């Protein structure tokens, strides 16, 4: 991402701290919430933003306390924050203004949801999980307490638990699975197909990580139903995005030939789609990487081992080039690891 750091004039540390706090709130932020986060009078915050604008910082005032900053500036400011301050602010965002009413309000639920998303953006997964649980509690008996809203929160929370299970041995996958299943059970049959499919895709992902035969069978069933839902809803590209997931399951089940057929089908679909779309390029990169990994899972025919490895390296190079264009160094590193193997 573009950095604003070398382009902007020096500014008072106190003013820059206000900008960093604004970046934590997002590229669009509200000054009342910003003042609350910093525990400062609103007028002091507005004065700091004025000083920043006078110094050439591209922070736009849209009136009524609504401000916007470019994403590149936000990225620069977030990179300056210490991990401890990030976590402290994420926890602060999880608090709610004391209220006299014992019944939760829509504002309470919205604040908890925003805190969950802020903590997720900051990489504070455990804090985000706590905010997500609080959001579910605060949503009860509010005007926004609909099955769809509650299911979407279960999807977000279940995905966070799934993410935590990937990096923490004390965070079981079963907790993520139970949360996602509870979300799916809330939805009526006429709920939005995309949300229903997303829940099934997430459940399939957790089942894939569980890895036993029963879980893998279930992953395939969930993905097949998600594809059916999306296809019936007239969302062919969204359905095609699940082909790679299905292929990965088949490979893990010991059926790389069927997995390879699905990967080639995915590549054919997305090669015919709009190549200017980052989503399309992302899917093609993932497909190439999965094709590259096939020789690691299935033995080539006798005498054709070298050819199979060279074909795999070709797919890996194509995937690496696409991830480089997308500026995704972490995924590019995974491709290099595959090439090394």
> Taking a C-beta distance cutoff of 8 angstroms, is the pair 289, 334 a contact?
yes
Q: Output the six-digit token pair for 258.
A: 């069927």
> Taking a C-beta distance cutoff of 8 angstroms, is the pair 19, 67 a contact?
no
| Chain mean pLDDT for the chain | 84
Q: Does residue 193 surpass a pLDDT of 70?
A: yes
Which of 88-92, 168-172, 320-324, 335-339 comes out lowest in average pLDDT? 168-172
What percentage of the chain exceeds 90 in pLDDT?
28
> What pLDDT band is residue 220 in, cutting at 50, 70 and 90?
very high
Comparing 261 with 115, the larger pLDDT belongs to 261
Per DSSP, the residues of 68-131 read E--HHHHHHHHHTS-HHHHHHHHHHHT-----S-SS--HHHHHHHHHHHHHHHHTT-HHHHHHH
pLDDT in tens, 37-61: 898 888 999 999 999 988 888 888 8
Q: What does the pLDDT read at residue 225? A: 94
Rounded distance, CA 207 to CA 223, Å? Answer: 11
Return the SS3 of 30.
strand
Q: Does residue 5 surpass a pLDDT of 80?
A: no
What percentage of the chain exceeds 70 in pLDDT?
91
Rounded distance, CA 242 to CA 204, Å? Answer: 10
pLDDT in tens, 235-248: 888 888 899 899 98
For residue 114, give every residue at least 6 positions away whose Cβ sits within 8 Å of its Cβ, in sequence order, or none.
93
pLDDT in tens, 85-127: 887 887 777 654 434 344 556 677 777 788 888 778 777 788 8
Q: What does the pLDDT read at residue 99? A: 44
Mean pLDDT of 169-194: 85
Specify the pairing of strand 28-30 against strand 66-68: antiparallel
Q: What does the pLDDT read at residue 201? A: 94
Ranges 97-111, 206-220, 284-298, most confident: 206-220
Q: What does the pLDDT read at residue 217? A: 95
Q: Does residue 233 surpass a pLDDT of 60?
A: yes
Q: Does residue 295 surpass a pLDDT of 70?
A: yes
> What pLDDT band is residue 250 in, cutting at 50, 70 and 90?
very high
> Taking a C-beta distance cutoff of 8 angstroms, is the pair 249, 223 a contact?
yes
CA distances for 318 relative to 97, 273, 292, 307, 337, angstroms = 51, 18, 9, 17, 14
Rounded distance, CA 87 to CA 307, Å? Answer: 50
Q: What does the pLDDT read at residue 86? A: 80
């Amino acid at each position: 991402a573009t950095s604003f750091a070398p382009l902007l004039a020096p500014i008072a540390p106190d003013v820059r701290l206000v900008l960093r706090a604004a970046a934590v709130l997002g590229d669009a932020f509200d000054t009342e919430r910003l003042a609350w986060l910093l525990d400062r009078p609103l007028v002091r915050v507005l004065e700091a933003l004025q000083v920043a604008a006078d110094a050439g910082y591209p922070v736009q005032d849209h009136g009524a306390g609504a401000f916007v900053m470019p994403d590149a500036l936000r990225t620069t400011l977030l990179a300056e924050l210490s991990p401890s301050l990030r976590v402290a602010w994420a926890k602060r965002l999880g608090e709610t203004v004391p209220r006299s009413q014992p019944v939760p309000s829509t504002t309470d639920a919205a604040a908890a949801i925003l805190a969950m998303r802020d903590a997720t953006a900051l990489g504070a997964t455990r804090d985000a999980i706590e905010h997500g649980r609080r959001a579910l509690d605060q949503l009860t008996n509010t005007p926004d307490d609909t099955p769809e809203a509650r299911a979407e929160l279960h999807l977000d929370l279940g995905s966070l638990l799934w993410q935590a299970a990937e990096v923490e041995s004390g965070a079981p996958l079963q907790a993520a699975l139970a949360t996602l299943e509870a979300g799916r059970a809330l939805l009526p049959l006429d709920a939005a197909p995309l949300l229903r499919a997303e829940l099934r895709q997430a459940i399939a992902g957790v089942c894939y990580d569980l890895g036993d035969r029963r879980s893998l069978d279930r992953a395939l069933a969930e993905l097949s139903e998600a594809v059916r839902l999306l296809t019936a809803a007239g969302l062919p590209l969204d359905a095609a995005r699940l082909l790679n997931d299905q292929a990965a399951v088949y490979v893990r089940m010991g059926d790389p030939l069927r997995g390879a057929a699905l990967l080639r089908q995915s590549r054919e679909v997305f090669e015919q789609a709009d190549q200017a779309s980052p989503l399309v390029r992302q899917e093609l990169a993932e497909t190439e990487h999965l094709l590259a990994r096939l020789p690691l899972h299935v033995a080539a025919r006798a005498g054709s081992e070298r050819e199979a490895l060279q074909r795999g390296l070709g797919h890996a190079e194509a995937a690496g080039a696409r991830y480089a264009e997308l500026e995704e160094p972490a995924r590019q590193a995974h491709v290099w690891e595959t090439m090394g193997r």
